[in-house]
Amino acid sequence: MTIIPAIKKDYITKLAEQGKRVDGRTFDQYRTIDIETKVVNKAEGSARIKIGNTQVLVGIKMDLGEPFPDTPDCGVLSTAAEFVPLASPDFESGPPRENAIELARVVDRGVRESEVVDIKKLVITPGEKVWIVFIDIHILDYDGNLFDAASLGALAALMTTKVPILRFLQSGTLEKKDLETWYNNTSIKDIIDLYSIPGLDEFIASKNKEAPTDIKDIPLPMIEPPISCTAIKINDYVMFDASLDEELIADARLTVATDHKGDIRAMQKGLSGSFSREEIQKVIKGALDNGQEIRKQLYAKIGK
Partner 1 sequence: MMKSDIKLINSEGKRLDGRGPEDLRKIKIESGVLHRADGSCYLEWGGNKVLVAVYGPREAVPRHCQNPLRAIVQARYNMAAFSVEDRKRPGPDRRSVEISKVISEALERVILTEQFPRATVDVNIEVLDAEAGTRCAGLTAAGVALVDAGIPMRDIPVACAAGKINGQVVLDLGKEEDNFGEADLPVAISPRTGEVLLLQMDGHLTMDEFNKAFDLAVKGCHIVSDIQKKAIMHKYQAVVAAEVQE
The answer to whether residue 27 forms part of the interface with partner 1 (CB under 8 A) is: no
Which of 33, 35, 43, 229 touches partner 1 (CB under 8 A)?
A: 43
Q: Which stretch binds partner 1 (CB under 8 A): 141-149, 206-214, 220-228, 254-262?
A: 141-149
Kindly state the number of chain residues that form the binding site for partner 1, as judged by CB under 8 A.
34
The answer to whether residue 61 forms part of the interface with partner 1 (CB under 8 A) is: yes
Distance CA 256, CA 251 (A): 17
Distance CA 158, CA 112 (A): 12
Among residues 275, 229, 276, which one has the least CA distance to residue 252? 275
- Taking residue 136's Cβ as centre, other Cβ atoms within 10 Å add up to 19
The answer to whether residue 83 forms part of the interface with partner 1 (CB under 8 A) is: no
Contact 29, 241 (CB under 8 A): yes
Question: Which of 167/176 has CB closer to partner 1?
Answer: 167
Q: Which stretch binds partner 1 (CB under 8 A): 10-18, 88-96, 105-113, 123-131?
A: 88-96
Residue 81 bridge partners (DSSP) = 137
The answer to whether residue 30 forms part of the interface with partner 1 (CB under 8 A) is: no
Which of 57, 106, 146, 154 touches partner 1 (CB under 8 A)?
A: 57
Smallest distance, partner 1 to C-beta of residue 60, A: 7
Question: Which of 42/304 has CB closer to partner 1?
Answer: 42
Distance CA 36, CA 80 (A): 20
The answer to whether residue 64 forms part of the interface with partner 1 (CB under 8 A) is: no
Longest Cα–Cα distance of the chain, Å, equals 75
Distance CA 94, CA 27 (A): 36
Q: Which stretch binds partner 1 (CB under 8 A): 5-13, 76-84, 249-257, 258-266?
A: 76-84
CA 91, 49, 6 angle in degrees (round to 5)?
45
